[in-house]
Amino acid sequence: MNEAQVKSVSPAHLCLLLASANPPLLLDVRTPPEFNAAHVPGAMLIPLDDLEPAACLKSHSSGHAFYVICQSGARARKAIERFHSCGCNDAVLVEGGTQAWIDAGLPVNRGTASVLPIMRQVQIVVGSLSVLSALLALTVSSWFALIPLLLGSGLLFAGLTGTCGMAILLARMPWNRTNSQPLQLSNTPERS
């Protein structure tokens, strides 16, 4: 998708919109543990893996903007691409995501996350596998040196593309899942 096609809004401007008498819908496409750790007040959680744009758009009136946020913007951009593929151009990217919102000193709801954030899980898995395979390469067989090579290549790919295969895999693990219902976009969303 062309960068110019994605409409975006700054966290400060979105904060003003959310404080209005008729606040817009804000979708948070992060994982449940990330959402529970800190999220924008009024945001509705629908993890990217669970997002079904066609189902969401059944009650949506074209021309009414809704906003999509994630941690830094990459997953929200992917969600917006999915909405675009269903013919909806009303999704607006929140620039810099939740991290930019927090950095701007805007209000957040903080919970007690019982699960580590996905990127910390990735760091633990990659670090553990790297140490274990390096030890095995030194003591058992030099072929185990291929594992850290593959892990490093995966991290390089993730850094260059913004897509982390390990994070995608870990997000699908039972401890990172929620039983979310299909979300219907409407012009008067219920706010929590």
- Helix or strand run (H / E) with residue 77: helix 74-85
- Token pair recorded at residue 192: 């929590």
- In the block, which residue shows the tokens 């805007």? 106
Transcribe 104-167 into DSSP letters.
Answer: TT---EE---SS--HHHHHHHHHHHHHHHHHHHHHHT-GGGGHHHHHHHHHHHHHHHHS--HHH
Of 15, 56, 70, 86, the active-site residue reads: 70
Nearest Cα residue to 43 out of 78, 70, 74: 70
Distance CA 104, CA 90 (A): 25
Our answer to whether residue 70 is catalytic in this structure is: yes
Distance CA 88, CA 166 (A): 30
CA triple 36-88-167, angle to 5 deg: 35
Q: How many other C-beta atoms are found inside a 10 Å radius of the C-beta of residue 154? A: 15
- Enzyme catalytic residues: 70
